[in-house]
Structure 1
Amino acid sequence: MNALQISIKDIKANRLSALLNLLLIAFGIAILTVLLLAGKQINDKLEKNAKDIDLVVGAKGSPLQLVLSSIYYIDFPTGNIPLKDAQQLAQNPLVKRAVPLALGDNYSGFRIVGTDTSFIHLYALTLQQGTFWSKDFEVSVGASVADKQHLLVGSKFYGAHGLTGNTDIHRTHAYVVTGILKPQGNVVDNLVLTNVASVWGMHEQAESPKKGPRPGEPEPFENGEKEITTLLIQYRSPMSVVLFPRMVNQSTNMQAASPAMESARLFSLIGVGVDTLQWFAVLIMAISGISVFISLYNSLKDRRYDLAIMRTMGASRFTLFSIIVLQGLLLTLIGSVIGLLAGHAALEIIGHYQQADQARLSGKLTDAAEGYLILTGLIIGLAAALIPAVQAYRTDIASTLSKG
């Protein structure tokens, strides 16, 4: 019987103690896994959704709220801005591209976004079926919308006023699905895209739809006292970073918000809670290490006579050392693996019950950094087993046997 088999039998002989150690280790690793994966997924989603968007311009209010509502679609807009003012900003020489957004309606919780074909180029959208919208009340829907609402090309549905809920349904006009987008891996998967005129017409109860621009052509702003919600801005040059936001904030009745700055501020706001949970998990891991140490130490005191007998039968000092070390490593390895699986399962459950599809988490995704969690568990096991293993190594055969 080798050292590994003996270690396994020793663990089985102390089931309750081993179970307590496994639970402590698994609980700590599970918390760290959830925090690691959730932080990674949220950061990736923030970067994907804000990619190539340098600035958001909208009504004055909270800059963070403006960014959340216009890029991540998880908050209410700060208000509307006059179309003529938005048009002037779009024509500013510091601006490379200005994408208008008109928000205010939803379909079964998925936001209906009035925009133009520049939105297609901004996110490099491609179609899975059908074509992009070309007339009023035609829509192209994200992959998740089509899947969850069972929409096909040619399907019709009614939008509802507000960004959530279906209490105030616009039954004057039905939207017609002309295209289904390929999965983008960002917020667009959860959007219903149409032209700005459709959003205006839905609220103005326009009677006859009119033909819009062909896909790929810019959609001109209309004259009149129209309003949109926000503009997504791409800068023309590095000089725009300094000049354009200051110009908007000081010379207009609108505000400019940087997605990068507001995302960093959002992380700083939630960072305190995340740090607290991380330290809580580290504390649990430390307690689990102490628990493993106590368990092995007590086990060693009870088994000194058995170890001495093994020495007389030919077992080397290193064999006794290995038995104790392997017990610590096995306990922490099994506990770490259980913790990883539990962390993934917990994150999948959290994602399943999330209300916001735009920031949905998944336990099916993995991260290379999870290997460090396993390594951390093994280091804790080795550290906890080291002192008992050294004592086993130094076991004096004669004195131990004489004491019985």
Structure 2
Amino acid sequence: MNLFSLSIKNVFAKPLSSLLSVLLFGFGVAIIVAILLTSTFLKNEINKNAQGIDLVVGAKGSPLQIILASIFHIDFPTGNISLNDANNLTRNRLVESAIPLSLGDSYQGYRIVGTSKAYADLYGAKLVDGEWFGSEMTATVGAAVAKNLGLKIGDELESAHGLAEGAGGHEEHPFKVVGIMEKTGSVMDQLILVTVQSVWEVHASHEEHEHDTTSDLHEKVSLDRLGIEVTKEQLENEDITSLLIKYRSPMAAVQLPRIVNGTSNLQAASPPYETARLFNIIGVGVDVVNVLGLVIIILSATSVFIALINSLKERKYELAIMRSMGASQLKIFLLILTEGIVLTIIGSLCGFGLAHIGFGILVDSVEQIQTSGMFFVYDEYYVMLGSLAVGIFASIIPAFLAYKSDISETLSKA
């Protein structure tokens, strides 16, 4: 007697009852797996995009907002900081390197970032065509930007204020595309890189261009730690949005944020600390949804239990006949247990499939996400084992009742 094939037939003999058990179990598993996929993916993305950045320095305000705006480019900056203050900070012995960022404008929803070549190097970005931005009003665009907007070398971009499409722009100061980057799978794919001097040029008024040309003010100054060259006038009068800092030693993690926050107009934001705080905030909602998934799984286990109990009542005579024909008590026990496990496995597979399909649809609809629905995490194995354990637990009592059934009493009542 093939227990597995017989169990399959018994499961499909009651399609509505079995379908209810499978759907409940599948939804519970799908919720837990979907949350697991999403949270793990977000953590991986955050770690990947924040790699090599020990501290972000911006204008006074929310540290989390500084992180979201300067690393992930999904929020508005808290304001600007003086280039002179930023340069003085980079001279601190605790700073190994610093990357300037000037934010605020965009092109058709993609953020324009005034920075240095070191920013592209931070993500290992390489060119697929053209050259890197260097001179004023030139731009190197990310792979997703070039693909989605159909940009090519020589095209001109007219920047707009903020991140909203259709906002007021700077038509009189277009950027020229001189390079296109390869896909990196990071936030770099969604950016348009220009020099910080280009950002200043775009926002300069005509009056500012007509300042006297005193040779001292227009003398060039090399800001080695920032990787840019500016005039003395720009050093004294211009602003940037933030600095991405790398520490020289572990001691800097303790001392430098305190030094920065002691400055009246600067705010230090630690990527590890702020992202951990963000996940703590999100974690409350994640825990609630996970509890919901567990409740649904428990309900589905109860459904499996009831289905097997009802099936047992209806099949008492059938099981007694099997016993009389030589089936042992152990085989009857294993038969009922296998039916419960089959329902659990089918439900679990449906749940895993639903979660991955849903995650795949989500990531395909959000162009900033560079992955697919075939993204697997190790903890899914624990969900699988846990689901199997729940199915076995729900089947134990019905299987034991079948094991203890009295053959002679059942046949005598037939």
Match for residue 392 of structure 1 among 388, 402, 408: 402
**Residues in 1 aligned to 2:258 and 2:298: alpha-carbon distance in whole angstroms:** 50
Match of 1:127 in 2: 127
**Residues in 2 aligned to 1:236 and 1:125: alpha-carbon distance in whole angstroms:** 23
User: What is the TM-score when the length of structure 1 is the normalising length?
Assistant: 0.93
**Matched ranges for 1:247-266 at <5 A:** 247-266=259-278
Is structure 2 residue 364 aligned with structure 1 residue 364?
A: no
**Residues in 1 aligned to 2:176 and 2:249: alpha-carbon distance in whole angstroms:** 39
Q: For structure 1, which segment, 385-394 or 363-372, has the greater mean C-alpha deviation from structure 2 after superposition? A: 363-372
**Matched ranges for 1:3-402 at <5 A:** 3-204=3-204, 218-224=227-233, 225-354=237-366, 357-358=367-368, 362-402=372-412
SS at match of 1:72: coil
**Residues in 1 aligned to 2:96 and 2:406: alpha-carbon distance in whole angstroms:** 81
Q: For structure 1, which segment, 24-33 or 385-394, has the greater mean C-alpha deviation from structure 2 after superposition? A: 385-394
Match of 1:403 in 2: 413
* Runs of at least 4 residues off by over 6 Å: none
Q: Deviations over 1:270-328 (max 9, x none)?
A: 11111000111111111111110111011111101100111122222222122111111
Letter paired with 1:303: R
SS at match of 1:74: coil
**Residues in 2 aligned to 1:230 and 1:246: alpha-carbon distance in whole angstroms:** 17
**1:72 and 1:358 in contact (8 A); partners too:** no
**Which runs of no fewer than 5 residues in structure 2 stay unpaired?**
210-221
**CA shift for structure 1 position 231:** 0.6
User: What is the TM-score when the length of structure 2 is the normalising length?
Assistant: 0.91
**Residues in 1 aligned to 2:372 and 2:239: alpha-carbon distance in whole angstroms:** 37
**Residues in 1 aligned to 2:255 and 2:244: alpha-carbon distance in whole angstroms:** 16
**1:109 and 1:164 in contact (8 A); partners too:** yes
**Residues in 1 aligned to 2:36 and 2:156: alpha-carbon distance in whole angstroms:** 41
**2:100 and 2:243 in contact (8 A); partners too:** yes
SS at match of 1:57: strand
**Which runs of no fewer than 5 residues in structure 1 stay unpaired?**
208-212
SS at match of 1:133: coil
**Aligned residue pairs: how many?**
394
Q: Aligned pair in 2 of structure 1 residues 360, 64: CA closer, same or farther (>3 Å)?
A: farther
Match of 1:210 in 2: none
**CA shift for structure 1 position 221:** 4.1
**1:74 and 1:358 in contact (8 A); partners too:** no
Letter paired with 1:248: V
**Residues in 2 aligned to 1:127 and 1:259: alpha-carbon distance in whole angstroms:** 28
**Residues in 1 aligned to 2:41 and 2:140: alpha-carbon distance in whole angstroms:** 26
**Residues in 2 aligned to 1:391 and 1:221: alpha-carbon distance in whole angstroms:** 85
**Residues in 2 aligned to 1:172 and 1:348: alpha-carbon distance in whole angstroms:** 42
**Residues in 1 aligned to 2:242 and 2:166: alpha-carbon distance in whole angstroms:** 24
Q: Aligned pair in 2 of structure 1 residues 219, 48: CA closer, same or farther (>3 Å)?
A: same
Letter paired with 1:151: L
**Residues in 2 aligned to 1:137 and 1:96: alpha-carbon distance in whole angstroms:** 29
**2:99 and 2:227 in contact (8 A); partners too:** no
Letter paired with 2:61: G
**CA shift for structure 1 position 331:** 0.7
Percent identity among equivalent residues? 46
Q: Aligned pair in 2 of structure 1 residues 90, 394: CA closer, same or farther (>3 Å)?
A: same
**Residues in 1 aligned to 2:154 and 2:332: alpha-carbon distance in whole angstroms:** 74
**1:117 and 1:219 in contact (8 A); partners too:** no
**Residues in 2 aligned to 1:221 and 1:265: alpha-carbon distance in whole angstroms:** 37
**CA shift for structure 1 position 352:** 4.3
Q: Aligned pair in 2 of structure 1 residues 118, 223: CA closer, same or farther (>3 Å)?
A: farther
**CA shift for structure 1 position 338:** 0.7
SS at match of 1:102: strand
